[in-house]
Amino acid sequence: MKKHNFNAGPSVLPQFTIENTAKAVLDFNGIGLSIMEISHRSKDFQPVVDEAVALVKELMSIPEGYSVLFLGGGASLQFCMVPFNLLEKKAAYLNTGTWASKAEKEAKLFGEVVEVASSKGANFNYIPKDFTIPADADYFHITTNNTIFGTELRKDLDSPVPLIADMSSDILSRPIDVSKYGLIYAGAQKNLGPAGVTIVIVKDELLGKVSRPIPTMLDYRTHIKEGSMFNTPPVVPIYASLQTLKWLKELGGVSAMEKMNIEKASLLYDEIDRNKLFVGTAATEDRSLMNICFVMKEEYKELEDEFGKFAAAQGMVGIKGHRSVGGFRASTYNALPKESVVALIDAMKEFEKLH
């Protein structure tokens, strides 16, 4: 049976990415060797990094003065690398979920942290709007898409201090104005490739201002200087990410992605709002286009397990909600085909008829 992959991460990838990566693992560029058994500094691999950097710059319209890096350590390493490199005295954080909280916790190791607002009291089901960013902070950190709670900040905020964004689960899902950000980071395994590589886009002029010594590997300047090749980078995840970038460009880039993402998410939210059994968990105005969270209405709660099994029998994978929200979460990343969303909607309608 055809599987519909709604996994939250690692998650669905384009068939193009999977097939080309599988080929390169068997025989890279027809050289008779696997991509896994050649030097990252060889003449065959260098163009992979160069092209990936160029495509990120092109697809995201990154202005001059920014560097694009491919680093190891996951988005979670950025939680400490950001303050290590940028926090001298004080930083501001917007607390919109589990990942935002984790980022904030790390920053406290390096200096004063001001939490400008938090939606924790409402189990992070909305994104706070009324807050003041202290003008004397070294930076302001946000999480654009809250993977677990299904809320998304789809507006490039105005900030009096450098804006830092964790875009792990919505990078390349819509056009953004990179010039409004000081640093953007994203683990690859939601919208781009397999786990193991993290994209960092950093405005060069922000670096070199903190007084503390920074270990070589944790200093962004090391990786800028060495073109992400200070040490052996995650070669296969970078190659796979390059395939996704090519796929994305072929389909029309981030504007085309946004259109498709809006269409997919609207179809599913419309069904959640229409169906008598289900209710969405995120505030309507903050609903994510990437992670769509919903639960059974109170009076149908006892049907939750049954719907999970019913959907699984129709090929749905990964729709169980995160334990902190419960119910269901359908992740509708770039690579998820519209037909999978339609299949889920059909299952929801069918289940409604049965009850």
10 binds ligand PLP (CB under 6 A): no
Q: How many residues does the chain have?
A: 355
Q: Which of 138, 170, 190, 219 is catalytic?
A: 190
Run of H or E including 237:
helix 235-250
Q: How near is the Cβ of 332 to ligand PLP at its closest, in Å?
A: 14
- On the question of a cis peptide bond just before residue 233, with omega within 30 degrees of 0, the verdict is no
Contact 162, 206 (CB under 8 A): yes
What are the C-alpha distances in Å from 259 to residues 177, 232, 253, 255? 17, 37, 10, 6
Mask of contacts with ligand PLP, 177-216, x by CB under 6 A?
----------x--x--------------------------
106 binds ligand PLP (CB under 6 A): no
9 binds ligand PLP (CB under 6 A): yes
Q: Is 78 annotated as a binding residue?
A: no
* Region 59-98 residues binding ligand PLP, contact defined as CB under 6 A: 74-76
Q: Which of 138, 166, 170, 219 is catalytic?
A: 166
Run of H or E including 93:
strand 90-95
Which CB atom, from 291 or from 300, has the smaller least distance to ligand PLP? Answer: 291
Helix H, strand E, coil C: the string for 142-165 is EECEECCCCEECCCCCCCCCCEEE
- Active-site residue flag, 99: yes
> What is the size of the binding site for ligand PLP (CB under 6 A)?
12
- Active-site residue flag, 190: yes
Q: Is 243 annotated as a binding residue?
A: no
Parallel, antiparallel, or unpaired for β 163-166 and 183-187? parallel
Contact 321, 304 (CB under 8 A): no
End-to-end CA distance of the chain: give it in Å, rounded: 25
Which residues in this chain contact ligand PLP in the complex, by CB under 6 A?
Answer: 9, 74-76, 99, 143, 147, 166, 168-169, 187, 190
Binding residues for L-glutamate: 41
Binding residues: 41, 75-76, 99, 147, 166, 189, 231-232
